[in-house]
Amino acid sequence: MQVTNAHGPTPAQQLAAFQRDDGQPIYMLNLLKFRDRAVYPDGRETTLTGAQAYALYGRAVSKMIAEAGGKLVFSAQVRGLLIGEVEGPWDSVAVMMYPSFKAMAEILSSPGYAEIHVHRDAGLEGQVLIETVMG
């Protein structure tokens, strides 16, 4: 199994997620890898680490998710791997619950999200985002 960190979904991944949406809650498992230093696309000077820049995004997006009926279920720092191997393990994991994929998509396309997204991109080296449902 090859693992590739990315900054966003491919068009095919987006389409597949919309096709899977049944209006039920989804739980997004976030595997996060941070930059050592935040890098802003506009070239601004910063002393923030990648984790600090992402935390700015995380606090703001968590409020938006809560307003839409979702919530942060779990968040923790990665300490090590017990089973398996990946090149450069992730720094942090989080599980976010959204009322539906549609609700998540509405948040991600909102003007408020566009304002805070810059901190996400500045802080993340990449991530793996796994969509899960209760079974």
pLDDT digits (tens, 9 = 90+) for 6-49: 777 888 888 888 889 899 999 999 999 999 999 998 999 999 99
The model's pTM: 0.89
Is 5 part of any domain? no
pLDDT of the residue at 1: 56
Task: Please tell me the total count of domains within the chain.
Answer: 1
* 121/61 Cα distance (integer angstroms): 13
Is 121 part of any domain? yes
Is 82 part of any domain? yes
Is 109 part of any domain? yes
pLDDT of the residue at 133: 95
CATH of the domain at 58: 3.30.70.100
Whether the pLDDT of residue 89 is over 60: the answer is: yes
pLDDT digits (tens, 9 = 90+) for 100-131: 999 999 999 999 999 999 999 999 999 999 99
Is 33 part of any domain? yes
Distances (CA, A) of 86 to 50, 61, 81, 83, 93: 20, 28, 9, 10, 15
pLDDT of the residue at 15: 86
Q: Which helix (H) or strand (E) holds 121?
A: helix 111-123
